[in-house]
């Protein structure tokens, strides 16, 4: 049996440890606060959730082949909650 050979220029990801998503969030928030300088952050929770939730829903839908039932299960939401969120963000 012939051994599997990686295509030239490809990257072997077998030994790569994924960086926790929280590390990216922390880094981004630190940058955000640094850019605020002397201004106060207002409604930060709403802003962050709005920035994160839409791409999260889109990614889950894409991963589920646009099957809303599967996407809801991936997200740990009921299908009706997912549908409400999709409507809220204008995602079809």
pLDDT at 3: 54
Q: Is residue 40 part of a domain?
A: no
- What's the pTM? 0.68
Which residue numbers in the chain have pLDDT < 50?
A: 1
83 lies in which domain range? Answer: 67-92
Cβ atoms within 10 Å, residue 76: 8
Q: Is residue 92 part of a domain?
A: yes
pLDDT at 50: 87
Q: Within a 13 Å sphere around the CA of 15, how many CA atoms are in the beta-carbon half? A: 1
pLDDT at 7: 60
Q: Is residue 72 part of a domain?
A: yes
Q: Is residue 90 part of a domain?
A: yes
Q: Is residue 41 part of a domain?
A: no
Q: Can you tell me the distance from the alpha carbon of 21 to that of 26, in angstroms, rounded to the nearest whole number?
A: 9
- If one counts the domains in the chain, the total is 1
CA torsion sign for 49, 16, 11, 75 is: negative
Q: Is residue 80 part of a domain?
A: yes
Q: Can you tell me the distance from the alpha carbon of 79 to that of 71, in angstroms, rounded to the nearest whole number?
A: 8
């Amino acid at each position: 049996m012939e051994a599997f050979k990686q295509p030239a220029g490809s990257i072997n990801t077998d030994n790569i440890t994924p960086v926790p998503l929280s590390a990216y969030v922390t880094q981004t928030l630190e940058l955000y606060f640094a850019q605020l300088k002397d201004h106060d952050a207002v409604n930060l929770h709403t802003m962050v959730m709005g920035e994160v939730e839409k791409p999260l829903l889109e990614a889950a839908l894409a991963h589920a082949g646009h099957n809303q039932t599967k996407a809801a299960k991936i997200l740990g939401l009921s299908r009706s909650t997912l549908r409400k969120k999709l409507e809220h963000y204008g995602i079809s």
